[in-house]
Amino acid sequence: MSKKGIQSVRGFSDILPEESPLWQHAESVIRRVLEAYGYREIRLPVLERTELFSRSIGEVTDIVEKEMYTFEDRNGDSVTLRPEGTAGCVRAGIQSGLLHNAEPRLWYAGPMFRHERPQKGRLRQFHQVGAEVFGVSAPELDAEMIIMTARMLRELGLADVRLQLNTLGTPESRAAHREELVAYLRRHEDRLDEDARRRLETNPLRIFDSKNPEVQQVMADAPRLMDCLDRESAEHFAVVRNLLERAGVEYEVNPALVRGLDYYTRTVFEWVTDRLGAQGTVCAGGRFDGLVEQLGGRPTPAVGFALGLERLVALLEDQGAPGDGGAPHAYLVVATETGAGLEAAEALRDALPGLRLQAHTGGGGFKAQLKRADRSGARVALILGDEEQAAGALTIKDLRGEEGQQQLAFDDAVAYLRGLTGA
């Protein structure tokens, strides 16, 4: 063991107290917007049977081929730490009967696990908020979900994110496209990397998702699925585009956008930014009409998205998002008998929900307590001495500004503190 103590596992990081306020802010805005569209929370297990993911995400995807945390549990069953939330959400929906004769709107949040190369915006444990709607095949839903993600990003104050849109048609249009694509790729096989060559046989559409610049160049001129669309998928896409335009949501069509998971049909979208280097996708989703049936449920259309919280928070930080780091508003210095300190603190919390108050514990001199108050990051120190106690008052000392100190009757002190909490 190193002198520094036991270190965390590579790619698994802590979210420290000074970072959590920004996370909480992001989570609460997202949650409020989801609720405004009638979504309800579902909480799902972190561990699932391995076959749930291999059957849904696709055997020939980065995730299933090389990124899953898969192991045998003590009974010898193969289990996997969830790499994403959709599969588990569909599984739970089928298992609970929630999807039948209903159009549930569900959201979830929590950690996901992928054994990738850790770098900025790419961790092995990362966090997503995701949402899925089942039972609706109309293109209005695709549009509404995208409009909702636009509202989320807007209400979070995110600048510099662009919406990319594509359609993947149906399995039938994909089959027609596949032939053309394979013929094209065979002509350029010398410029493909090993991964792409292998996928040429198994899942050529995946090659559009390659992160290799040379391969991306080849794909830039490859036949587009967009040109092989069946009539209904083309109409579906046209309606989605029209509705986005009517809602004033700007987008660019990116025919090379295929997403990293196999279950998508028709609409796919990503919100991307140039501010996070190569890890530019903040939020991504689309329609997956075949997945419920594929996992053993009745045929049920669906649309969903997932948003990466690490990348979202990094963007907010990059923009210099305001935040006080969650420090207490006030630190109570107790220069009288200790019991009176706890009493006064409880009375303050009763009077002012939302007040972040840290009361000094453990005695010690007045000066030492004031030093602690300062180090806590609090805006003000509240001083309770014998005199204040006798008068039912508190002395308030401004630790950050020019206001100096003043003794106020309890109710006036509460009014003063209310101003600090912004309530």
Positions touching ligand ATP (CB under 6 A) are 84, 114, 116, 121-123, 126, 128, 259-260, 279, 281-282, 284, 306, 308, 310-311
Q: Which is nearer to Mg ion, 277 or 325 (CB)?
A: 277
Q: Which stretch binds Mg ion (CB under 5 A): 10-18, 19-27, 85-93, 257-265?
A: 257-265
Q: How far is the CB of 308 from ligand ATP (least distance, A)?
A: 2
Q: Which is nearer to ligand ATP, 134 or 208 (CB)?
A: 208
Q: How far is the CB of 305 from ligand ATP (least distance, A)?
A: 8
Among ligand ATP, Mg ion, none, partner that 311 touches (CB below 5 to 8 angstroms by kind):
ligand ATP
Q: How far is the CB of 301 from ligand ATP (least distance, A)?
A: 19
**What residues numbered 258-287 form the site for Mg ion, per CB under 5 A?**
260
Q: Which is nearer to ligand ATP, 141 or 258 (CB)?
A: 258
Q: Which stretch binds Mg ion (CB under 5 A): 71-79, 102-110, 253-261, 362-370?
A: 253-261
Binding map of Mg ion across residues 385-414, x = CB under 5 A, - = no contact? ------------------------------
Q: How far is the CB of 395 from Mg ion (least distance, A)?
A: 56
Measured at CB, which residue is nearest to Mg ion? 260
The count of residues in the chain is 423
| Token pair of 387 as six digits | 């005199």
- CA 285 to chain centroid: 12
Among ligand ATP, Mg ion, none, partner that 262 touches (CB below 5 to 8 angstroms by kind):
none
Q: Which is nearer to Mg ion, 144 or 270 (CB)?
A: 270
Q: Which is nearer to Mg ion, 121 or 341 (CB)?
A: 121
Among ligand ATP, Mg ion, none, partner that 199 touches (CB below 5 to 8 angstroms by kind):
none
Q: Which is nearer to ligand ATP, 173 or 279 (CB)?
A: 279
Q: Which is nearer to ligand ATP, 62 or 388 (CB)?
A: 62
Q: How far is the CB of 297 from ligand ATP (least distance, A)?
A: 22
Q: How far is the CB of 153 from ligand ATP (least distance, A)?
A: 12
User: How many C-beta atoms surround the C-beta of residue 402 within 10 A?
Assistant: 5
Q: How far is the CB of 227 from ligand ATP (least distance, A)?
A: 24
SS3 for 300-317, per residue?
CCEEEEEEEHHHHHHHHH
Q: How far is the CB of 316 from ligand ATP (least distance, A)?
A: 13
Q: Which stretch binds Mg ion (CB under 5 A): 98-106, 237-245, 252-260, 312-320?
A: 252-260
Measured at CB, which residue is nearest to ligand ATP? 308
Q: How far is the CB of 261 from Mg ion (least distance, A)?
A: 9
Using CB atoms within 10 Å of the CB of residue 379, give its burial: 0 to 12 exposed, 13 to 18 middle, 19+ buried: buried
> How many residues belong to the site for Mg ion (CB under 5 A)?
1
Contacts to Mg ion by CB under 5 A: 260
